Amino acid sequence: MNEIPQIVVTGVGPALPGVAGVQDLVTGPSVPAEPVDPAALLGKKGLKYKDRATRLGLCAASLGLQDAGLRNAEGPLVPPRGVGCVVASNYGNADTICRVVTTIAEETTRGTSPMDSPNASSNIIASEVAIRFGLQGPNMTVCNGDSSGLDALHWAASLLRSARADQVLVIGVEPDNEMVRRLVRTDRLVDGAVALVLESATTAEERGVKARAVWGGYARTGGVERTAHRLDRFGAGSPAAWYAPEEPGDGTPRAEHPRSGLVRHDMSAVRGTLSAALGTAQCAAAVARFDAGESGPVHLMAGRVDDGVAGALLLAPGDAS
């Protein structure tokens, strides 16, 4: 029987307002920050007719791939056939879908723009990332509510363990626009994306890149307490901190971790509603803290089912055994 490879995080790419580097994820913006400018990061070429979420996803992808040493300004540094892409987004092209549906209802299909047709695909962000950066590995989108970011990381780990890819780029992205605000019913939304690169520890060592964090395990249950106990079974020791799920927003109290005394990090309190980008933002912030010398492991939790979370991830520092 083949040994299950250890999965590690080797790259982080935050494309968020007020974030100039990974360490800015630890403190958050101290003042209202300007929106991410994709043209300033990527250049204007190739961005026309792309929706906001796709542009943000491309920004995070570029930063994450470079941070992991998978590409530089000249192009890819590894065979592109081995690099997959998993995107998590719940509202990425909601504005396009609503616009197209409204146009068809009022003018029939003759009124729709051919430029809107590709953007109406649920996999548009992942597809555009693969096309722009030449990624030829598995390509998919996860749209699964608040746990989507952690679910996408889980799928990436599954692709690596099944030898379907050598590296997987995971992107959590949500746009801030009028349509999304109406759907989410909040005026405090994230407008950004966070990318991470996952690969096996063996592959990272062969490439000579640092393992920034170690994937300790993933669980899905109907509540925080059960999920936390499930993560304990992976045997990484008691968590040093936990990254809380977002506020339910329906008046119900937010679920708390069953173990008292943990350092608690609330990404949504700093960034606003992150939805599908929550899990990747949590993971990236944990990596930033590991980079700064904090110890782990940590529990990342996201989603709402019954009394608590739907998905949770155990993450440990890169030097963990």
pTM, entire model: 0.92
Tokens of 156: 């990436």
Query: 275 pLDDT band (50/70/90 cuts)?
Result: very high
pLDDT of residue 107: 75
**Which DSSP helix (H) or strand (E) runs through 153?**
helix 148-161
Asked if the model's pLDDT at residue 71 lies above 50, the reply is yes
Among 98-102, 153-157, 212-216, the minimum mean pLDDT is found in 98-102
State the pLDDT confidence band at 1, using cuts at 50, 70 and 90: very low
What mean pLDDT is predicted for residues 171-177? 95
Compare 53 and 146 and report the one with higher pLDDT: 53
* Cα gap 194→61, rounded to integer Å: 8
What span, in angstroms and rounded, lies between the C-alpha atoms of 267 and 274?
Answer: 8
Q: What is the mean pLDDT of the chain?
A: 89
- DSSP-based helix, strand, coil % in the chain, nearest 5: 35, 20, 40
Q: Is the pLDDT of residue 251 over 90?
A: no
Question: What is the mean predicted confidence (pLDDT) over 229-249?
Answer: 84
Highest mean pLDDT among 156-165, 218-227, 229-238: 156-165
Span 2-17, average pLDDT: 88
Q: What is the pLDDT of residues 110-166, one digit of tens each?
A: 766 766 677 778 899 999 999 999 999 999 999 988 899 999 999 999 999 999 999
Lowest pLDDT segment from 28-32, 66-70, 213-217, 288-292 = 28-32
H/E stretch holding 288 = helix 278-291
